[in-house]
């Protein structure tokens, strides 16, 4: 009783304008709702469910992507194929046989081949457009996510209603 009398006669209340009990109680309810960790956790759960619903909806939309790559290399891997070393002795023998018959040589010497596996400059740009097929199993997760979101929102409103009702009582 003395504590209540002290609050009424405190200098804070004397300096400010008089406020009715409903306004003060409403402010206390608002502060209680802001500081209620259970309600904040449920709100985060509802936001997570909304994000999951957006992700489920996004599976129906086409996706456009652009990927670009430019590579510049100096040196790199080379593969030597000894074509000349393998064929030139046979070509020389054939040319000697042709010369023995009085014909001109027809087989010129072949140099060894070096094949580079890495280009000195390379650009690769791709534009990809993907459209998901019209697949009946896809709407299932979206509808389930929507219903779960409705249930999560109702679970959040229950404790809030009970708190407001307790203050009104």
Digit-by-digit pLDDT tens for the chain (169 residues) are 434 434 444 544 444 567 787 788 788 888 877 887 877 888 888 888 888 888 877 877 888 999 999 988 877 778 889 999 999 999 999 999 999 999 999 999 999 998 887 778 889 999 999 887 776 665 667 677 677 777 665 566 666 777 667 666 6
Number of domains in the chain: 2
pTM (2 d.p.): 0.33
Whether 108 and 126 share a structural domain: yes
Whether 25 and 46 share a structural domain: yes
How far is it, in rounded angstroms, from Cα 106 to Cα 24? Answer: 111
Instruction: At 121, list the tokens.
Output: 């400059």
Residue 115 · residue 78 · CB < 8 Å: yes
Range of the domain at 165: 18-61+134-169
Q: Is residue 2 part of a domain?
A: no
How far is it, in rounded angstroms, from Cα 126 to Cα 123? Answer: 10
Q: Which residue has the tokens 């109702």?
A: 154
Whether 127 and 92 share a structural domain: yes
How far is it, in rounded angstroms, from Cα 147 to Cα 161? Answer: 21
Residue 112 · residue 82 · CB < 8 Å: yes
Q: Is residue 50 part of a domain?
A: yes
């Amino acid at each position: 009783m003395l504590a209540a009398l002290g609050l009424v006669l405190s200098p804070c209340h004397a300096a400010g304008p008089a406020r009715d009990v409903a306004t003060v109680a409403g402010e206390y309810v608002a502060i209680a709702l802001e500081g209620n960790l259970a309600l904040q956790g449920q709100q985060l759960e509802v936001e997570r469910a909304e994000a999951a619903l957006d992700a489920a909806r996004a599976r129906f939309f086409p996706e456009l992507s652009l990927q670009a790559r430019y590579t510049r290399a100096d040196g790199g891997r080379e593969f030597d194929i000894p074509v000349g070393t393998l064929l030139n002795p046979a070509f020389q023998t054939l040319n000697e046989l042709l010369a023995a018959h009085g014909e001109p040589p027809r087989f010129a010497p072949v140099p060894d081949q070096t094949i580079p596996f890495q280009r000195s400059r390379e650009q690769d740009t791709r534009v990809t457009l993907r459209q998901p097929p019209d697949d009946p199993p896809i709407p299932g997760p979206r509808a389930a996510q929507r219903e779960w979101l409705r249930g999560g929102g109702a679970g959040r409103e229950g404790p809030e209603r009970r708190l407001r009702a307790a203050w009104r009582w």
